[in-house]
Structure 1
Amino acid sequence: MHIFFFPLYDFHTKQTFLKTYNDFEQEICIGNIKHKNRKALRRYRRCPQYGIVTIEQGGRLGNQMWEYANVWAIARRTGLEPYIPACIRLKLDLVFESLTVPTFDEIGHCPFSINKFVKSLDAWNYTNQSILLPKYSIFSEIVLTWVQDIIQEFTIKERYLQKSEQILLQASKGISNCTFVGVHIRRTDYIRYLLRKYKVQPADAEFYMNSMKYYERKYKNLVFVIVSDDPLWCQKKFGHMHNVFVVGKKVPNSAALDLAILASCNHTIFDYGTYGTWSAILAGGETIYFNITNHASVRVGQLLPNWHAMS
């Protein structure tokens, strides 16, 4: 199933304004890219002989991980050359060790024609065609065909992993052989989005409590490590529990560090959103997620083993 969110890139832009792939990259990024701040390449790559696959920029870390993964996976599926806009790659490079999909820096000098691009994978039918995917796309079926490879692709930088280990040690209170369950609780802006998009109320405390009880029946020495955009709400609801540790109660962590904490856990509970989805994918183990009909996280849960929907 292919999930698209619109609006798409304007394919009616006059050809005279798009001369090279550098020009094209500026059009599919939010805001201008400051090339002077980017590492200069010693030599350019050859211009693409056939088609390429790329994507528009949209959203924050979780969305941009999907955008990168879509390009990476569809290139594998089609044989097209993958290129990621620098506005996406520069942000992901701050979090991950060694991403392999190049940016347009390497072919920025090459001539570009919008007429060779189609708007979706379904519309693509020959190797000389290129694909421009819309922002917020989620090709879960294709990406998760190579789930272990994409986990390897998203290797988190060592400094974040080391810091996450320190936080998990603190959460364990010195108890050895703990089983860590990362709990991602998304609130703030996403509550309004759920009401507008899906006409559903957000997950309440009962969902998280029931999910915790599921793990408590299966594992010993459990520690639930809660990461949230509303840690005060989490502390109020769960802070009294002896095996719960709420991260960032005083000073919020960066999105990169929170992702490293969740990915370092053995199992996952999350409610919704691309960030929570990726934290569960990277962690592996079992996952419990909030059941919302037609939500992207539900589709991912249907594709991966040991993922369980709960409402």
Structure 2
Amino acid sequence: MNTKYVTLVVLTLVCLTALVVLVGREGLQEQNISMVKWDKKPCPKGVITVLDKGRLCNQIFEYVSVWALARRHGLLPFVPNTIHNKLRGLFAHLSIPPLSELIDSSGDCPKLNKNSLNRASSDDLFDVDDRALRTNESEDPFVLREYIVLIRLIVPVLDEVKEEFKYRPEIVTVAQTRLRWSRSRLEADHRSRETLFVGVHVRRDDYFRAFQAFGVTSYADAGYYRHAVSWMLRKLTSEATSAHNIAFVLASDDPAWYGSAVFFLGEVETPEVDLVMLSSCNHSIVDYGTYGLWAALLVNGWTVVYDLSALNPHQTILEINGLLRVAGLMSKWAMLT
């Protein structure tokens, strides 16, 4: 009898233990499920990015356009890895993360995939503010088109742009070495005195193909640069309160042309250094394109721009030359032919 009683007690304890284990497992599973549900991040709203296409300064303006819109409307900015990788070699600090960080952290978000992030939301530059406002409350990303230059948003915050986009010190050192070389040559002939630097950018190369597509037939030639140099000399001389040297620092994508046609310092193999050098000058002479535009925006003095609209159909010009849009917004920018 005692043996049966002991056996019954043991079986009862075993059953109770098994029941506790089962209940514990089910509770743990429910807890794990609830933890998974609780840990799952919601898909982000207000994402803005841009398509990447073009050369160095196309990428700069694609990045800056994202930065300006995100800053203006409180959006969540990202840029393609190709842009980020290129620009981190030029700028000391990039506040916008690469697009891969968004993709890696949003794997379960159906609206944040390679298809949606590689297709422009709109080609219309006039509705970007409205679209940005809608994006703030949407999981659909706002993807800016390639080659975008949001001049009207960038110009009002130029002081902040100059603070945000500081060049890497090692590139600045090389650029300053070139400028010192130019200064020393002038001082050898014209005594040691203050030197004013005028950055001159000559854009040719692939721009002529763009000209043909837009029906542009008249463009900057050697006569324009001579006119611009004469204008700049008169302006700087009339404003001067003391004697100084004036150094014209040239950079171009077509050394064969300017070597025979114009008045050298830049090297076509080092576009980043040339850009920093032009940006470090006191004044600018430019023709068209984002390279000259970016350099001139960072310069605080006078800028002469080639007036592409003077001899070409006006309706096509603003599409191809953002410099003309800037000239209408800046008090110290003059248009010449």
User: Shorter-chain TM-score: what band?
Assistant: 0.7 to 0.9
Find 1:67's aligned residue among 33, 51, 62. Answer: 62
Tell me what 1:109 maps to. 105
Contact 2:286–2:306 at 8 Å: present in 1 too? Answer: yes
For 1:62 and 1:124, the matched residues in 2 are separated by 24
The Cα of 1:256 is off from its aligned counterpart by 0.5
Find 2:173's aligned residue among 135, 144, 162. Answer: 162
For 1:213 and 1:287, the matched residues in 2 are separated by 13
One-letter identity of the residue aligned with 1:128:
E
One-letter identity of the residue aligned with 1:306:
K
Tell me what 2:78 maps to. 83
User: Structure 1 residues 301 and 48, CA, compared in 2 at 3 Å: closer, same or farther?
Assistant: farther
Tell me what 2:149 maps to. 138
Tell me what 2:272 maps to. 256
Contact 1:234–1:246 at 8 Å: present in 2 too? Answer: no
State the secondary structure of the residue aligned to 1:283: coil
State the secondary structure of the residue aligned to 1:225: strand
For 1:228 and 1:185, the matched residues in 2 are separated by 5
Residue pairs, 1:129-208, within 5 angstroms: 129=138, 130-172=141-183, 173=185, 175=187, 176-208=193-225
Judge which range, 157-166 or 113-122, deviates more: 113-122
For 1:47 and 1:61, the matched residues in 2 are separated by 35
For 2:67 and 2:83, the matched residues in 1 are separated by 13
For 2:56 and 2:162, the matched residues in 1 are separated by 15
Q: Percent identity?
A: 31
Structure whose alpha-carbon radius of gyration is higher:
2
For 2:110 and 2:289, the matched residues in 1 are separated by 35
TM-score (norm 2): 0.71
State the secondary structure of the residue aligned to 2:331: coil
Structure 2 gaps, min length 5: 1-40, 188-192, 237-243, 310-317
Contact 1:235–1:246 at 8 Å: present in 2 too? Answer: no
Residue pairs, 1:210-249, within 5 angstroms: 210-219=227-236, 220-239=244-263, 245-248=264-267
For 2:222 and 2:257, the matched residues in 1 are separated by 10
TM-score (norm 1): 0.77
> How many equivalent residue pairs?
258
User: Structure 1 residues 124 and 162, CA, compared in 2 at 3 Å: closer, same or farther?
Assistant: closer
One-letter identity of the residue aligned with 2:332:
N
Contact 2:43–2:109 at 8 Å: present in 1 too? Answer: no
Question: Could you say which structure has the higher helix fraction?
Answer: 2
For 1:100 and 1:237, the matched residues in 2 are separated by 42
The Cα of 1:182 is off from its aligned counterpart by 0.4
For 2:70 and 2:43, the matched residues in 1 are separated by 13
The Cα of 1:148 is off from its aligned counterpart by 1.2
Contact 2:69–2:132 at 8 Å: present in 1 too? Answer: no
For 2:224 and 2:110, the matched residues in 1 are separated by 50
One-letter identity of the residue aligned with 1:113:
P
Contact 1:191–1:201 at 8 Å: present in 2 too? Answer: no
Residue by residue over 1:223-269, the C-alpha shift from the partner in whole angstroms, topping out at 9 and shown as x without a partner, is 11110112232222234xxxxx4433xxx331101101101111000
Q: Residue 270 in 1 paired to residue 286 in 2? A: yes
Find 1:299's aligned residue among 325, 330, 333. Answer: 325
The Cα of 1:125 is off from its aligned counterpart by 4.2
Contact 1:182–1:225 at 8 Å: present in 2 too? Answer: yes
Q: Which runs of 4+ in 1 moved over 6 A?
A: none
Judge which range, 74-83 or 122-131, deviates more: 122-131
Contact 1:182–1:269 at 8 Å: present in 2 too? Answer: yes
Residue by residue over 1:116-163, the C-alpha shift from the partner in whole angstroms, topping out at 9 and shown as x without a partner, is 984362444432223111111111111222111112222111111111
Two-structure CA RMSD over aligned residues (Å): 2.1
User: Structure 1 residues 152 and 47, CA, compared in 2 at 3 Å: closer, same or farther?
Assistant: farther
For 1:297 and 1:216, the matched residues in 2 are separated by 22
The Cα of 1:47 is off from its aligned counterpart by 6.3
User: Structure 1 residues 47 and 187, CA, compared in 2 at 3 Å: closer, same or farther?
Assistant: farther
